[in-house]
A and B are shown apart, each in its own frame.
Chain A
């Protein structure tokens, strides 16, 4: 016996997770990313000390900005789930979606940083304070995603991962200030130091600004799509379970 499900129109299927708002954000993101490529590779000048290698900064810094932002959003959404009165599962999905995005961009940060390091330091990797703490942060969020994949109910998953999400975010300030706390090969903050002094100017600063805006828009776009995707994964699992239960009951002659 099969369970009948209502037919779903092709128009609905095509829509997926997109809305007019995400389409606008998507177009803006593409435009800003193209601008980033033009400014980063062509229009911005070579650095006096680093030469053309400084061009890697325009993708490296926005990537780490996006990863930090994603991990902070994960912590905030985890807090909403854990301490909110309704223990919202939607907040948990936002936390999970944000962590997935953060992990991807932390990986991009590590690899672009290694390529930049190979040019400026002569090696891809050093067990330096900034690099080591960044690698630990990356591994922590891999762990967070692993915790989300553990068996249990959705409520158990949400509670466990919210605790990990709130603990893991404590590493973000440690990574950011590691260059101040320990002797490090890595340069200090590119734009704003602890004294809030802007150390870049002109086209370099503008190119970096374009990168940060492009990646912030990209984060919003990805977060909207991926949190909707996680909602549908949960609903599909739920409807699949309900259908399986209904089929078993029907096979056993139990009335529904």
Chain B
């Protein structure tokens, strides 16, 4: 594969951003959820 560094770098950046963003979203959601009761969570 030519230009492998740029190509693999773009995939690593994209997938890495997705993983970090999703992980932070879930983590913050769990932390906030711990302080609220189920009545405050209409999705449950």
Contacts and interface: CB of A to CB of B under 8 A. Distances in A.
A33 B41 CA distance: 30
A16 interface: yes
Contacts of A56: 6-7, 10
Given A52-B7, A222-B21, A232-B40, A17 B1 contact: no
Nearest to B5: A115
State the majority secondary structure of interface residues on A: helix
Contacts of A55: 1, 7, 11
Given A17-B26, A19-B44, A218-B18, A59 B10 contact: yes
Contact of A232 (B1, B6, B32): B32
Interface string B1-18: 111101111110111011
Contacts of A235: 36, 40
Interface stretch (A6-14, A71-79, A197-205): A6-14
Nearest to B18: A218
A13 B44 contact: no
Range, interface on chain B: 20 to 34
State the majority secondary structure of interface residues on B: helix
Contacts of A165: none
B32 to A, nearest CB: 4
Contact of A228 (B1, B2, B7, B41): B41
Interface of B: 1-4, 6-11, 13-15, 17-18, 21-22, 25-26, 28-30, 32-38, 40-41, 43-44
Kindly list the 8 A-B residue pairs having the minimum CB-CB distance in the complex, ordered from nearest: A17-B29, A16-B30, A232-B32, A16-B29, A59-B14, A13-B34, A112-B10, A16-B33
24 contacts: A8-B36, A15-B44, A16-B32, A17-B43, A18-B26, A33-B18, A37-B11, A51-B2, A51-B3, A55-B7, A56-B7, A60-B10, A115-B10, A116-B10, A119-B6, A225-B29, A228-B29, A229-B25, A232-B29, A232-B41, A233-B32, A235-B36, A235-B40, A236-B35
